[in-house]
Amino acid sequence: MIKEKIFFLKYELIKPGSSQYYGQLMHDQYLSLDEIEMLNWNRTRSLVQYAFEHVPYYRKRYTEIGCTPQDIRNPDDFCRLPVLTRQDLMNNFDDLLSDEASLKDVRLSTTGGSTGTPAKVYHPKKETRAAHGWRMLNWWNISPADDWASVWRDVNKTYKSKFLHFLQWFPTKHILLNATSFTEQDIKNFLKKFIKVRPKLLHGYVGTIDFLADYIIEHGIQIPPPKAIWLTSAPITTVQRKKVEAAFHAPVYDQYGCCEIYWLAAECPMRNGLHMFYDTKRFEFLDENNLPVSNGCYGNIVLTELQNHLFPLIRYAVGDCGRRLTHNCPCGCNLPLMDSVKGRVSDTFILPSHARLNGLTTIFDNCPEAVRQFQLHQQSDASIVIRVVPNNDYPDLDNTLEKVRTAMEMAVRHEVPVTITKVSNIPFLKGKLKFVISDYKG
C-alpha cells in the first residue's frame, strides 16, 4: 500500500532505524515464552549493571543494602532490590539521570496530579517508541498509515505546531475532538468529519468516548464502523465497553500505559487479556510487603522499563492494581497475558474492621447494560453510596439495581450501610471519570 510506504519512509527520515526496530518487535513477539523470558531477563540484568555503574541513585541505594550487580544472578535475587515509589522518583529526580546522559538527549514528561502525586521522568529522544504502537495496531489489522479519529487533548495550539502535526501525519487523515473542552457543536462537527473520513481507528480517553457514545445512541446517529476502538487513560468497565461497542458497532480494545512508561500492554482481537510488552518491560505483581503474589492473584504492579538506560526506572511501583494471567493466547503472539487493570491501588475501600475492598469497578459486570455510568463513594462515616445513571429502558431495572446493592452489602460483610442513588449525570474531569472515591479516614 503506497500510503504505508510513504509513511514508513518519512518516519525513517525523522527517526532513522525505526523500521528496523519495528521489524525486531514484530519478530520477538513470536519467540517462545521461554525465549521471551530469557530476553527479558538478559535485558533486566544489563540494565541493573548499567544503573549501578552510571546512575547515582541506584549506586547509592544498592550500596546501602550491600548489593552489587554480581549478586543479581536470577529473578529471585532481582526481587531483593528496592522498589522505586513515586515519592522516591520525585525526591531523587536529578540523581536518576545517567552520568552519560546530556539534557539534549532526553525529553521531559510529566503526569497530572489527578491520580495523586504528580511525577516527572525523562524519556530518551532517540527511542522509536511509536513502533510499539504500530505492533499493537498490526494486531488489530490497522496500518499506522490508516486514517484515524482521536478524542484527546488538543496539543497543537499554534499555527506552527498545527502545520508540523499535518506534516507528521500526511498523507494520513487524522481528525480530533478536543477532550478537555468541547461544546455540542464540536461534537456535531467531529461526527460529521467522522462520517466523511470513515477512519479505521477511534482512539481516546475512556470518559469522553463514553460521553460521545451516549450522544450517538440518544440521537440515533449512524456511524461508519471503524475496525477498532482503542480506549486508554483509565480502566474500562464492562458497562462502558458494551455501550461504546453498541454506539460505534466496532470492537473496543483495552490498552495499558502510563506517562512514566509508555506502551505496557494491550489486547489482541482474541481479547483473552492484555499481552504485556514483556520483551521491553519487566512486570511484577507484589503484595503489601513487596513480595510476589502467586500467579493469577492481584497485586501492585511494579515495572522495569528495559530500554530507557538514560533515566532508568527499575522496579517502579506505578500505583495500579493488576494480575498476571496464566493461560496462553491462541493468536500466535507469545507475549504473556495480564488482566485488565482494575483500578488504582488507591481505589480501595477500607472498612471499620480494617478489611480492604479492591476490584470495585467490576460491580456491574453481570448487568452492564443496566446503567450508563456509575460511581462508588465511601462517605466520611464509612457508609457507601453507589451513584448510577440508569438505563431506563433496561427490563426490571430496579430489581437489578437492588441485586447489585445487595452484592455490595455482602462484599462489605454488612459492616456499613450501602445505598443506591439514581442521578442524571456524573461529572468527569479531563476526560476521566473517577469511579471510586473515599472520604473515610479509617
Whole-number minimum distance, CB 253 to Zn ion, in Å?
11
Residue 395 neighbours by CB distance under 10 Å: 8
| Coil, strand or helix at 223 | coil
Count CB-CB contacts under 10 A for residue 124: 16
In the complex, what is the shortest distance from the CB of residue 83 to Zn ion, in angstroms, rounded to a whole number? 30
Rounded to an integer, what distance in angstroms lies between the CA atom of residue 364 and that of residue 371?
Answer: 8
267/347 with CB nearer Zn ion:
267
Provide, rounded to whole angstroms, the least separation between the CB of residue 41 and Zn ion: 22
Q: Pairing state of beta strands 384-390 and 418-422?
A: parallel
Give yes or no for residue 293 binding Zn ion (CB under 5 A).
no
**38-45: Cβ within 8 A, 24+ apart:** 39/279, 40/278, 40/279, 40/282, 40/306, 41/75, 43/280, 43/282, 43/306, 43/307, 44/78, 44/282, 44/304, 44/306, 45/69, 45/72
* Residue 224: CB minimum distance to Zn ion, A: 27
Grid coordinates representing 399 are 430489581
Closest CB 200 distance from Zn ion, rounded Å: 20
Q: Which is nearer to Zn ion, 331 or 437 (CB)?
A: 331
Smallest distance, Zn ion to C-beta of residue 50, A: 32
Instruction: Give whichever of 232 and 334 is closer to Zn ion, judged by the CB atom.
Output: 334
Q: Rule CB under 5 A: which of 254-283 touch Zn ion?
A: 268, 270
Q: Which is nearer to Zn ion, 49 or 272 (CB)?
A: 272
Residues 42, 237: Cα–Cα separation, whole Å: 36
Q: Compare residues 130 and 325 and give the one whose CB is closer to Zn ion.
A: 325
For Zn ion, the closer of residues 268 and 367 by Cβ is 268
Could you tell me the three cell numbers for 36? Answer: 521471551
Give the span between the Cα atoms of 202 and 56, in whole angstroms.
Answer: 43
Q: Around 243, how many Cα atoms within 13 Å sit in the side-chain half-sphere? A: 32
Beta carbon of residue 335, minimum distance to Zn ion (angstroms, whole number): 8
Nearer to Zn ion, 6 or 270 (CB): 270
Count of residues of this chain found to bind Zn ion when the rule CB under 5 A is applied: 4
Preceding omega of 251 cis (within 30 degrees of 0): no
Of 263, 302, 255, 305, the closest CA to residue 122 belongs to 305
Interaction mask 307-336, Zn ion, x per CB under 5 A: ----------------------x-x-----
Site residues (CB under 5 A) for Zn ion?
268, 270, 329, 331
